[in-house]
Structure 1
Amino acid sequence: MEVILLERIDNLGQMGDVVKVRPGFARNFLLPQKKALRANENNLEVFRQRRAQLEAENLKRRQEAEEVAKKLDGLQIVVIRQAGDSGQLYGSVSSRDIAEAITEAGASVMRNQVIQDRPIKALGLHDIRVRLHPEVSIVVTINVARSESEAELQQKAGKFVSFEEQQAREEAAEAEALERAAEAEAAAEAEAEEAESEEDELYKESS
């Protein structure tokens, strides 16, 4: 089936292009979403008459999308899920979950704007593309973790941190804290000895 595109469509063409698509794609998506018209003489004339209006509307939507893109630039969203020690989720994070999380962060996004080949099924940081407009896309980072503290750890590490790595980090942090405490205690003792020595010297001089 041939259609006239009313906006830019990835991998198809620009506004005004006449392209051939699968009938099901046209009937189920392009036509009901008003993204295209059936390609015939009448609709070509309708498009020519409406082109300036369509371009103006598209420009306005694109500018609005660019404003949202600035707001979401560099956004990292934490999604808490249950998972095993290996990092595999007991379930998944879908495009609907991501859209809801972004909306909660302050920018209204629909599920079909989240470009996701497959659901997220593992802990860690996942870069997901969000199409705010046919000509405006951004990438948000989805930080999937079992807790807020784990999410913070993953953000610092830039990746999923296994149970063993977490234990090793905790042990290293504990050892460092003990070492600092020992150094502080030794410094305090040295300072006390020095003060006592100075007192002895003053006593001897006065006597």
Structure 2
Amino acid sequence: MEIILLERIAKLGQMGDVVRVRNGFARNFLLPAGKALRASKANKARFETEKVHLEARNLEARAEAEGVAEKLAGQTFVIIRSAGETGQLYGSAAARDIVEVAEAGGFSVARRQVRLDRPIKTIGLHDVQIDLHPEVSVSVTLNVARSEDEAKRQARGEDLTRRDFYDEPEVEEAAEEAPDLAEVFENPEDAEHAGETAEASEDGAQEDGTSDAGSGEDGASEGGTEDKTTA
């Protein structure tokens, strides 16, 4: 179907352009929304008559949209949703949700003005474009989180979608090092004597262990001999 555009339409053309579009797109959207007219002779003549008025109305609407864009640009809106440990939402955040939080923040946004290719299905910070006017667009940030606290942490730059976020932190216990004897004793001779005493104690402990082991073996041998003699 051939139509006359009454305003700028992205990827179609500017006001006054005659373009061909699919019948369904024209009948279901462009014509009912007042964005276009059928390209008949009567409508072409009508457009030329109303062109000045349409251009003035467009300039007024654009100026109003630019005023809203100055206040809306850079805004962040928080949406609280239930999600798993990896950040996957139990559901999604769609255009209607963005409209609701924007209105709660004092901005009037129509659902058709929200440009969202697909619903948001993970927590995090998401950039969303809002077309306030065919010639005026603005970008806002959608902070999707499981709680207000997590929303604040995400705003500070934390990534809460990592799998290891919920892992228990590893605690490394520092090994206790034996003190330096030279630092314990003021007199070097005392430190040397303490070191010799410690070494002697270790040697004695080793000898005692060897002696005990030998005694055990001798006892076992003698016991075995006596048993054989008795038998």
Would you call these one fold, judging by a TM-score over 0.5? yes
Change in Cα spacing, 1:132 to 1:153, as seen in structure 2 (3 Å) is same
Please tell me the residue identity of whatever aligns with 1:143: N
Please tell me the residue identity of whatever aligns with 2:113: Q
Q: Following TM superposition, where does structure 1 have runs of at least 4 consecutive aligned residues deviating by more than 3 angstroms?
A: 158-169
What is the rounded CA distance, in whole Å, between the counterparts of 1:135 and 1:160 in structure 2? Answer: 36
1:103 deviates by 1.2
Matched, 1:2 2:22: no
Gap runs ≥5 in structure 2: 172-231
User: SS where residue 55 of structure 1 aligns?
Assistant: helix
Give the alignment's TM-score, normalised by structure 1.
Answer: 0.78
The percent of aligned pairs where both chains have the same amino acid is 56
What is the rounded CA distance, in whole Å, between the counterparts of 1:166 and 1:67 in structure 2? Answer: 44
Please tell me the residue identity of whatever aligns with 1:155: A
User: SS where residue 141 of structure 1 aligns?
Assistant: strand
What is the rounded CA distance, in whole Å, between the counterparts of 1:128 and 1:159 in structure 2? Answer: 19
Give the alignment's TM-score, normalised by structure 2.
Answer: 0.70
Partner of 2:15: 15
Moved more, 101-110 or 8-17: 101-110
Please tell me the residue identity of whatever aligns with 1:108: S
Contact 1:154–1:161 (Cα < 8 Å) also in 2: no
**CA RMSD, aligned part only?**
1.7
What is the rounded CA distance, in whole Å, between the counterparts of 2:156 and 2:166 in structure 1? Answer: 12
Gap runs ≥5 in structure 1: 172-207
Please tell me the residue identity of whatever aligns with 1:39: A
Partner of 1:122: 122
Contact 1:153–1:161 (Cα < 8 Å) also in 2: no
Contact 1:125–1:159 (Cα < 8 Å) also in 2: no
Partner of 1:59: 59
Q: Deviations over 1:155-202 (max 9, x none)?
A: 111644547437789x9xxxxxxxxxxxxxxxxxxxxxxxxxxxxxxx
What is the rounded CA distance, in whole Å, between the counterparts of 2:124 and 2:53 in structure 1? Answer: 45
What is the rounded CA distance, in whole Å, between the counterparts of 2:2 and 2:140 in structure 1? Answer: 35
Please tell me the residue identity of whatever aligns with 2:102: I
Contact 2:130–2:137 (Cα < 8 Å) also in 1: yes
What is the rounded CA distance, in whole Å, between the counterparts of 2:14 and 2:98 in structure 1? Answer: 28
Partner of 1:104: 104
